Structure 1
């Protein structure tokens, strides 16, 4: 039995995906991947580094390790000298950037994918060649950390740092920094500055909402502090309960924006993954079952559905939506690497503190 066959067997989840359906989805993501390793949103569309990594991790859950490695090698080849990546790249082998901004969230997230791939494969050569990539990306990211622990969300094309911080992005960076610290331990390269940085960031997320732009109308700002691992225990449960009815539409999925009659597959799958991190598996499965209506012919998923109009919108099937579904299913089905990077129980926590101003 091949690793791919073993992978999709592990992804079977009753009422959500059969092994055959999981294989179809993994193959559909792989079919969108270019020969150079890049994974665009869909054929003919752009690539961004965060969603590229999300899709690559999904390939690993399904045993497509060679294709996932090719995706990370694409990142290594296209990393900027300062450790960053641009926010968007055009379709085509030239990988022409179409947004010259460099976002902290996008640049940190490859650490999650690199650790996930290493845990899935045990490939030491891959880990060694990707460690300098991760190190440079984290150094770029932390160059935008503010005095209060939060990170400015990007550098503009002219190099100007943007001080405004986004809670969703910073929560994702928190997870990425912990994965980067795990890779540092494996490399035998202690990073005390990173340990301090992740502690300050976690404190800001947990105790200082005023340090972030108010994006509370978006469901991601609701669940990402939990998904990223900064919030756990009673505080996390209270946060999820407080806005559940505002964002969750029974039998349809999760709203992207509180006030809009629009559920989206990516947010729904991420909420399911969030619920898994909290031990709320039954609810997680219910959320994944509720977005079965977004599954399209061929195994990909529609980005969203406007239930007020009974209309799929936008009319696109994105690799990252399918990837988020496979990752949520993988965690629920017991995939060890996926559980490690999202559950976070074994990840370094940095120099945590909740006693600072």
Structure 2
């Protein structure tokens, strides 16, 4: 099915119920949400899927997913790159944007549910995660993308990863403010990171080939609030024809004939953030031709060979579908999380408690 045009106040719950059910069916007995049945879970995509559950009203399942993160968090606040069947699947590294994303998911769930008890319960995990991430921030503001198995920093930074962390810091600050914890160190770190992303391109892709061919480097600074207004609109316009394939979706990389459904959903959110509502509706309307009867969505489509590729239906793609639908319809009270920056102001009612310490 294609041509699903969504608007404010029109969230077709019956249409999306199978998509929510698909994510739910993949959740494991320990609460983790793998990419698909038999695959592994990584912390970032696990959170993306959990946000889909929150939007779909499966609040207990979403909270179970976040509890899995709290239960598996390492002492230093991080998580390994991937887990499977209760074991570490990839213990080679721990990625900073993966670790920080717990704050985004936890704040998203609170916005949907207004469950303060949940927020208080997950606060220690959020605090530890953000502390880990900010220890890897350089004096220039950028944040190193990962550490090795023994904790050695991988000394380079990614535009997409740091942009994701920028949004996670906004969410972490809002959690701290809501719970009356001092967020000043996190605010300073976020300001430094934003400055690096906007004004210090030399701090990114220092040790490898530029990632500019990836569409996420194009739209993630808009999606996460690093760039807004006329600058965001100009950024979209500059590379639209490189990345967008009419009637199909957004390419993963500019030089490959491959569109991906998750990136197309995130582009939808970025377009809304940039104030381009009409094109957001249009791009999203293309994506349901990649939907299956069980409500899941294919990863992507290789249009030069006219084949669906890879042969996977990820839970995180289903989560992205639901996040974009929520933003277009304003269905939940978290619908503007990725389309607006809403940083709460700190007004402490008790003596400050140090939120984190950055080396």
Are 1:198 and 1:349, in contact at CA under 8 Å, matched by a contact in 2? no
1:171 and 2:163 aligned: yes
1:145 and 2:134 aligned: no
Q: Deviations over 1:117-165 (max 9, x none)?
A: 1111111211111111100000000011011101000001121101200
Q: What residue is the counterpart of 1:246 in the other structure?
A: 242
Are 1:144 and 1:163, in contact at CA under 8 Å, matched by a contact in 2? no
Provide the C-alpha distance between the structure 2 equivalents of 1:109 and 1:98, rounded to a whole number of angstroms: 18
Aligned equivalent of 2:42, options 33, 48, 71: 48
Cα gap change, 1:153 to 1:237, in 2 (>3 Å): same
Provide the C-alpha distance between the structure 2 equivalents of 1:258 and 1:150, rounded to a whole number of angstroms: 25
Aligned equivalent of 2:330, options 328, 334, 344: 334
**Deviation at residue 338 of structure 1 after TM alignment:** 2.7
Cα gap change, 1:336 to 1:349, in 2 (>3 Å): farther
TM-score for both structures, normalised by structure 2: 0.91
TM-score for both structures, normalised by structure 1: 0.91
- Paired residue total: 337
Q: Deviations over 1:167-189 (max 9, x none)?
A: 00000000000100000101111
Q: What residue is the counterpart of 1:25 in the other structure?
A: 19
Q: What residue is the counterpart of 2:180 in the other structure?
A: 188
Provide the C-alpha distance between the structure 2 equivalents of 1:131 and 1:341, rounded to a whole number of angstroms: 19
**Deviation at residue 296 of structure 1 after TM alignment:** 1.6
Are 1:216 and 1:222, in contact at CA under 8 Å, matched by a contact in 2? yes
> Which structure's relative contact order is higher, taking Cα pairs within 8 Å and 6+ residues apart?
2
| SS across alignment from 1:230 | coil
**Deviation at residue 236 of structure 1 after TM alignment:** 0.8
Structure 1: give runs of 5+ residues left out of the alignment: 1-10, 351-357
**Deviation at residue 242 of structure 1 after TM alignment:** 0.3
Cα gap change, 1:191 to 1:199, in 2 (>3 Å): same
| SS across alignment from 1:338 | coil
More helix per residue: 1
Are 1:83 and 1:139, in contact at CA under 8 Å, matched by a contact in 2? yes
User: Matches of residues 127-276 of structure 1 in structure 2 within 5 Å?
Assistant: 127-213=119-205, 214-276=210-272
Provide the C-alpha distance between the structure 2 equivalents of 1:75 and 1:315, rounded to a whole number of angstroms: 28
Structure 2: give runs of 5+ residues left out of the alignment: 347-359
Provide the C-alpha distance between the structure 2 equivalents of 1:186 and 1:162, rounded to a whole number of angstroms: 34
**Deviation at residue 349 of structure 1 after TM alignment:** 8.5
Q: What is the CA RMSD across the aligned residues, in angstroms? A: 1.7
1:72 and 2:66 aligned: yes
Q: Deviations over 1:202-258 (max 9, x none)?
A: 011111222111200000000000001110011111111100000000000000010
Bigger shift: 340-349 or 282-291? Answer: 340-349
**Deviation at residue 12 of structure 1 after TM alignment:** 8.8
| SS across alignment from 1:109 | helix
Q: What residue is the counterpart of 1:99 in the other structure?
A: 91
